[in-house]
Chain A
Amino acid sequence: MSLTADEVNKIAHLARLGIDKQDVAAYANDLSGMLDLMTRMSEVNTDDVEPMAHPMDQAQRLRVDKVTELNHREAFQEIAPQVEAGLYLVPKVIE
């Protein structure tokens, strides 16, 4: 199976991932190679197999509903690229 440059660009956009134009073909080639590797999975019949999302057969633990986190805005925003009046700033969002 092989991916086209268009498909790579489409996935890259979904992932909001800028890739250089001159690299698109190489990515298409690498991803196609990976997909080839994956075709091996179809060698095995898995119709009656339950998918496994976690290594442990465990249930989610529940937390008591208690406020444990205090305001650390200053520390959190010290590492932010752009803030003002306690808000994170981004280019204008158009609804």
Chain B
Amino acid sequence: MEWETVIGLEIHTQLSTRSKIFSGAATAYGAEPNTQACAVDLGLPGVLPVLNQEAVRMAVIFGMAIEANIAPYSVFARKNYFYPDLPKGYQISQMDHPIVGVGHLDIEVDGVIKRIGVTRAHLEEDAGKSLHEDFHGLTGIDLNRAGTPLLEIVSEPDMRNAKEAVAYMRKLHELVRYLGICDGNMQEGSFRCDANVSVRPKGQVEFGTRAEIKNINSFKFVEKAINHEVERQIALLESGGKVVQETRLYDSVKDETRSMRSKEEANDYRYFPDPDLLPVIIDEAFKAQIKTELPELPDAKKQRFKVDYQLDEESVAILTASRALADYFEAVNKKSGCEAKLCANWITGDLSAALNKAGLDISASPINDERLSGLLTRIGDGTISGKIAKQVFELLWQSAASADDIIAEQGLTQISDTGAIVAIIDKIIADNPNQVEQYRSGKDKMFAFFVGQVMKAMQGKANPAEVNKILKERL
């Protein structure tokens, strides 16, 4: 039988606010255990939540970016269950009235564009962490993460294979970073994915029974976990078995999913409106204000880069992967006055390689757009050759000096003075009669020999176009 896979994703993005969603404790990652858990985060008696404005702003801007309905009225609800990383015995989340309603995201797989529906996105608080290292057979609880704002983005079951799921997840990952609402750091858990996976005989309209795979923390694992789960379900069904609706955990070491019975047991979350919090009202003025803050989105930017700069697909993809890099490119293009292709080549080539090697993000680049522009300007106006430029680039990376200072200091200016070039060429022709003979008898390859000799004699500073022209005349 031919099977069809159906996938829906729930993605938890940690919003990059300074303080928590309902308290004034810091959200910074990596602090000593429980040093960023205040009375509210710890669920001490009598203390109360107050909603962080920034979390609301971030949710709304996300909703606008996916062209979703922003709820004029949204409600926080309590989701009740007992777990040691959940201090109050309930999670403050949203159930019936999420802040972001139906929207969509377009993905591209193998050149085909597909629209994936977003059912909703709601605000909630993150839980703490259980540390399973052995404390005399006990578990340690760190509540620093408790209360960190999350935007849970729930997709429609619109994806049909793991590749689409990964494309959707990557697209969302790019978007939230573009919007500046999430740092996207998957190792630190800022961007986590639960996948709902089911299979059905091809052509069947009803969905199969789904399993939820929890907490998948990399793109690679999403693909593997889904593929694995699909295989498991198909094998199960083909051998006459039945898929059970359950929560499964992906084990990246063993590359398998396994049932999480502990989480399954009699879940009845008893959602009800949190009486400590009032409805969140979002009016037109608030929305209008946020609309002005909405940056150019990835798809629009890609399109513009293709059209306005006439760049190839690959360069566009690299340059628009982050807003910071795209901004950098546009600044260099504008400041250097050089053509877009030259700017793109340097940024996607030498600069990206150097940043990768140093493990730096564009925002931490030792060469800022101003200094790279200085370099490109001098390539453009013929002051230095491309080869010399690479030398200058090295020095730009290592020092704080400008390209012009480095060129002047090191005497790297390109020689375009015809007289000087003619003198050198004449000397080389005189010194190499055999090679001249060979060239003239039709061995065209010898031309490169003469270019090399000239460049060597002039320490690479000769303008290559001039050298070619004069050599042809003289030979």
Contact = CB atoms under 8 A, between A and B. Distances in A.
Interface of A: 10, 13-14, 16, 53-54, 56, 58-69, 71-73, 76-77, 82, 84-95
A93 B84 contact: yes
Contacts, number: 123
Contact of B33 (A67, A72, A86): A86
A90 B24 contact: no
Contact of A85 (B38, B82, B140, B273): B140
A55 to B, nearest CB: 10
A76 B37 contact: yes
- A13, A87, A93, A94 interface centre (most CB from chain B within 10 Å): A87
B372 to A, nearest CB: 34
Interface in B91-143: 130-132, 135, 137-143
- A-B pairs, 6 with minimum CB distance: A68-B24, A87-B140, A65-B54, A62-B53, A69-B38, A59-B281
A89 B280 CA distance: 36
Contacts of A90: 84, 138-139, 141
B236 interface: no
A40 to B, nearest CB: 21
Interface residues of B, number: 53
Contact of B25 (A56, A67, A86): A67
A83 B18 CA distance: 27
A95 B280 contact: no
B50 A61 contact: yes
- B44, B75, B139 interface centre (most CB from chain A within 10 Å): B139
B19 A68 contact: yes
Nearest to A10: B266
A7 B19 CA distance: 42
B278 interface: yes
Contact of A13 (B25, B135, B266): B266
Contacts of A95: 132, 249, 260, 262
Contacts of A59: 278-281
B278 A88 contact: no
Interface string B180-215: 000000000000000000000000000000000000
Nearest to B40: A69
